[in-house]
Amino acid sequence: MTNSAIKPYPIKPIADLAIDAQLAAAVLRSLTDYHHQLLGRRIWLACSGGRDSLALAALCVQLYQQDRLPFLPQLLHVDHGLQVDSSIWASHVADWAAAQQLSCTILKAQVQGQDEQAARQARYRVMREYINQGDVLMLAHHADDQAETVLMRLIQGAGIKGLAAMQPWREHLHQHQSQQGQHYALWRPWLTVTRAAISDYAKQLQLPYIDDPTNASGDNVRSGLRRDIMPKLVSYNANVIGNVARSAQLLSEAQAIVEAQAEQDLQTTAIKSLEFASAQRVLAIDKLHDLSTPRQKQLLYYWLAQDEPLPPSKQLIDDVYALTQRQDNDHQTELDWHAHLQHYRIYRFRQHLYRLSRDFVDWLASATLEHRYDLSKSLAVDIRKSRDTGYLWQLQIDLTKADIRADRELYQELIDNETSLKITPLDRLRKVQTTTMGRAQAGKKLYQTLAIPVWLRSSLVVVSAVVTDTDMSNENSADTKVEVPLLLLSPFQSWTLKSDLSSNNLADTLTLLSEACINALQKVRKP
């Protein structure tokens, strides 16, 4: 196969050719560093067919044949169709892999756009979708790539995390609103070696690699740095590539310390009882204020960035920080953050800071439906919403937590009386009294007393027992049903309500049921 972009060398087995000691040492050192992370995992190698990825694939073949590498990676090549010869390149990579007895899979990608960034995103997307949970993807990024990345992010105004650039090993959890998170790892064993060393190795082996002309002529920032800036910097300091890469490593170590501190601070400030995965995360503002200003801002950055692959902007951090410092009573202010995976709303309510996904806020704001559950049939009570976004709010009642073992007759009485639970959305005008309140309240006063934020008020429900009152029934009429309120619920809290349990024939039964409801476990989850 001939093509002007493919180096005019024949495809031939390279296993027995001379190995490069420097490049081999880098791979083997990285293999030792991440030995435990690699155990039992399938290894893929992203192979564009270019010099770097083809050289890494060749080195893996040589090391494997020498019993110095315990695995052969499987090649993944993505044909994104941006160049007219992309299908020829894909066939070329497959033919070369076959000559080395390497497994090679060709993937097709649809690119949204024409630039290198769009192509890169498409490549990663199709590879991520193809590999399995827990797999490892090897990448041939090197010290020159690292230096270019550092300079590019410096131009963009990145902080420590951004300037730390690419990591030799990184575990990824890719999340999407419509699917479960996918866990995989990126492995870059060549971040300490130069492009020049790889070029010498490729020339030595006469590798027929693809020299994509867009790599040097592209009009993006990275291409400009590679073509115009890096040669100028090298003229000032021949070691600039290694120096910049070393700085990135030092910044990576510093970032690890910063993140460890932020994680420690998060453990003391996060309110776990109010959190619901990525949909709702909550911080205690009074505990946040115990930290120094730099630690507060770093914690806010770390807290907001949970569940997102791309970090929040400095402007957002500054706005959230200002919200936590306000001394007035207008704490209903909300901030919007259109992140990579989800759209979030950020609220301050009293001394709590909330980060809620927009779809969760919309679900909370939707109406709760009135419904009834027969306790003889189910003890898992679904609290239904009119808007279905994939969230399930469930009340799980365990009657064994009440004193049922002491008196089975009481439980049987629940069944015989056709006892049911009634779920009723709390009307703004309805007065209720919890066991800790001096009198019944409704509306705004109730919300203030119970510290119910605005976005939760539509989700307040009253759980009542509906039982038969035999004292009020007679032989000539239907049984009389009595409704006794037991609990007031929000998706994250519950309050016991004061009820009249004095009726002789109902007292024991309702007491049993009330105890069981008080001890009930409520969950909001994705089904």
pLDDT tens-digit series, residues 321-371: 999 998 876 555 789 999 988 999 999 998 999 999 999 999 999 999 998
State how many domains the chain has: 3
Would you say residue 479 has pLDDT above 70?
A: no
User: What string of DSSP letters covers 38-60?
Assistant: HTT--EEEE--SSHHHHHHHHHH
Structure confidence at residue 486 (pLDDT): 87
Better-predicted residue by pLDDT, 457 or 395: 457
> Is residue 254 situated within a structural domain?
no
Structure confidence at residue 218 (pLDDT): 56
Please report where in the chains the tokens 């400009």 appear, as a residue.
Answer: 224
> Is residue 14 situated within a structural domain?
no
Structure confidence at residue 75 (pLDDT): 98
> Is residue 339 situated within a structural domain?
yes
> Is residue 16 situated within a structural domain?
no
Strand arrangement of the beta sheet that strand 392-396 belongs to: 380-382, 392-396, 521-525
Q: pLDDT tens-digit profile of 216-238?
A: 555 578 888 888 999 999 999 99
pLDDT-derived band at 31 (thresholds 50, 70, 90) equals: very high
Structure confidence at residue 51 (pLDDT): 97
Same domain, yes or no, for 66 and 116?
A: yes
Gap between the Cα atoms of 337 and 303, Å rounded: 13
Same domain, yes or no, for 38 and 114?
A: yes
Q: pLDDT tens-digit profile of 151-201?
A: 999 998 888 988 999 999 999 876 554 445 678 999 999 999 999 999 999
> Is residue 496 situated within a structural domain?
yes
Structure confidence at residue 405 (pLDDT): 44
Give the up-direction half-sphere exposure of residue 358: CA atoms within 13 A in the CB hemisphere: 10
Evaluate whether 416 touches 404 at the Cβ level (below 8 Å): no
Give the residue among 207, 66, 224 at the shortest CA–CA distance from 140.
207
Same domain, yes or no, for 318 and 380?
A: no
Structure confidence at residue 39 (pLDDT): 94
Structure tokens at 154: 């410096």
Beta strands 136-138; 43-46: pairing state: parallel
Better-predicted residue by pLDDT, 479 or 205: 205
Out of 301, 326, 358, a domain closes at 358
The size of the chain, in residues, is 527
Same domain, yes or no, for 43 and 163?
A: yes
Gap between the Cα atoms of 231 and 233, Å rounded: 5
Out of 213, 248, 283, a domain closes at 248
Same domain, yes or no, for 393 and 310?
A: no
> Is residue 426 situated within a structural domain?
yes
Q: pLDDT tens-digit profile of 93-104?
A: 999 999 999 999
Q: Region 190-214: what's the mean pLDDT?
A: 93
> Is residue 15 situated within a structural domain?
no
Number of helices (H), then strands (E), in the chain: 19, 18
Same domain, yes or no, for 380 and 353?
A: no
Same domain, yes or no, for 334 and 372?
A: no
Q: Is 235 helix (H, G, I), strand (E, B) or coil?
A: helix
Out of 202, 218, 248, a domain closes at 248
Same domain, yes or no, for 347 and 391?
A: no
Same domain, yes or no, for 482 and 520?
A: yes
Would you say residue 438 has pLDDT above 50?
A: yes
Same domain, yes or no, for 344 and 489?
A: no
Same domain, yes or no, for 290 and 436?
A: no
CATH assignment at residue 312:
3.30.465
pLDDT-derived band at 109 (thresholds 50, 70, 90) equals: confident
Would you say residue 119 has pLDDT above 60?
A: yes
One-letter amino acid at 85 equals D
Evaluate whether 358 touches 343 at the Cβ level (below 8 Å): yes
Query: Where are the alpha helices (H) located in 132-284, listed in sequence order?
Result: 143-155, 160-163, 195-205, 214-217, 221-224, 230-236, 240-269
Q: pLDDT tens-digit profile of 76-91?
A: 999 987 778 889 999 9
pLDDT-derived band at 377 (thresholds 50, 70, 90) equals: low
Q: 105: domain range? A: 21-248
> Is residue 9 situated within a structural domain?
no
Evaluate whether 133 touches 139 at the Cβ level (below 8 Å): no
CATH assignment at residue 108:
3.40.50.620
Q: pLDDT tens-digit profile of 445-477?
A: 999 999 999 999 999 999 998 877 665 555 555
Structure confidence at residue 387 (pLDDT): 81
Same domain, yes or no, for 341 and 455?
A: no
